[in-house]
Structure 1
Amino acid sequence: MEESREENLESQIITLYKEKEELELALGTSDTDTILKEFENLGKELSRYYSFKENYRKVDTNLIHIESIRSAYIPKHRFENKSIR
């Protein structure tokens, strides 16, 4: 049996409200602009992270003298001895 136009519209509206509820529960909002802005911010954060990772190396503190921390990030260009990893 084929759905009437009204039943089809009602079904679509119910689906949209369910999706809106799921977004509210998962993300705290269903506002498209807010979600897109947050998505863009996460992309920018990820880019900054990868840039940081490319330009800095994590060094065990037994290779340098620093008190009370276990590792440090140092710009790669500051290493003259390339054998330190």
Structure 2
Amino acid sequence: MNKQSTLAPHESMELHEALNFKTLCLAKSKLMQGLVFDQELKDLMQKDVVQSTQAIAEIQALYAKAPFQTQVPQNRPTPILN
């Protein structure tokens, strides 16, 4: 079987979307732990944090095979205040 060393552009975009989603889930679980008083629910949320961190690491490893990369701009655009 022939292994590809890079991902197709659509696969890269799908991984990017999955990475964004898992990052958002991780942030939400971490933030909500401070608002929860039930220990069992806190434990479940902590388990979700650990699993999400592992999933993010796996997705990042796959995302490194993306055929394109972009430079992060040094300057941010000026906001329009009007």
TM-score, length of structure 2 as denominator length: 0.38
**Whose radius of gyration is greater, 1 or 2?**
1
Higher strand share: 1
